[in-house]
């Protein structure tokens, strides 16, 4: 939020508190599009119900198709490939340091290396990024530690490690 505010892009977060589906997104988007110049989304791919094997890009297109063509230019759909915690994996040393367990840095690096990059960390429901963090650090709390770690990592390093997320930010930056 502060980063975009510095670029005269004001953000008003609206949470849906889980149970996200395309039907629910449609219901939520219509009033938002009537209230804001531009609306963007940030959903975890894992959080979407009934996605029928569709990937993030396909679902972003489906979100666009939920509204009429005239309003589509005011919508920037974004789905985080697999979940928010992929961003947390951007800098293993900072994650390990947050929990004062430097010895686990190598394990985090191995997870990233196996996947190829943080946004590709995913094997399934039990090995998705948030579960992997919970296994490594049992007291990991997504709402507390996630934003705190990301703030410590810094937006530039997250952008370098997470190309899909970076692409979304570029689209937002180009609004001004």
- Structure tokens of 58? 């396909």
Maximum average pLDDT range among 6-15, 36-45, 63-72, 163-172: 163-172
User: Phi-psi category of 153—alpha, beta or left, where left has phi over 0 and alpha has psi -120 to 50?
Assistant: alpha
The pLDDT value given to residue 168:
95
Residue 92 has pLDDT above 80, yes or no: yes
The pLDDT value given to residue 41:
92
pTM of this structure: 0.90
pLDDT interval class at 50 (50, 70, 90): confident
Average pLDDT in the 58-81 region? 91
| Average pLDDT score, the chain | 91
Residue 61 has pLDDT above 80, yes or no: yes
Residue 106 has pLDDT above 80, yes or no: yes
Residue 98 · residue 148 · CB < 8 Å: yes
Q: What share of the chain has pLDDT > 90, as a percent?
A: 62
For residue 154, which phi and psi values (nearest 5 degrees)?
95, 145
Residue 115 has pLDDT above 90, yes or no: yes
CA-based nearest residue to 75, from 92, 94, 62, 93 = 62
Residue 156 has pLDDT above 80, yes or no: yes
Residue 123 has pLDDT above 80, yes or no: no
Q: Please report the DSSP string for 71-107 in residue order.
A: HHTTEE--EESS-THHHHTT-HHHHHHHTT-GGGHHH
């Amino acid at each position: 939020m502060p980063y975009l505010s510095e670029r005269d892009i004001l953000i008003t977060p609206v949470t849906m508190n889980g149970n996200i589906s395309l039907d629910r997104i449609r219901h939520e988007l219509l009033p938002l599009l009537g209230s804001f110049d531009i609306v963007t989304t940030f959903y975890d791919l894992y959080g979407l119900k009934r996605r029928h094997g569709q990937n993030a890009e396909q679902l972003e297109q489906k979100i666009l198709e939920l509204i009429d063509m005239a309003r589509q230019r005011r919508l920037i759909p974004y789905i985080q490939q697999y979940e928010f915690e992929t961003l947390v994996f951007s800098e293993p040393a900072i994650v390990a340091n947050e929990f004062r367990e430097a010895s686990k840095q190598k394990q985090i690096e191995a997870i990233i290396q196996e996947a190829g990059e943080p946004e590709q960390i995913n094997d399934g429901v039990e090995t998705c990024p948030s579960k992997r963090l919970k296994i490594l650090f049992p007291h990991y709390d997504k709402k507390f530690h996630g934003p705190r770690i990301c703030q410590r990592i810094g937006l530039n390093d997250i952008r370098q490690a997470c190309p899909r997320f970076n692409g979304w930010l570029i689209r937002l930056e180009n609004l001004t």
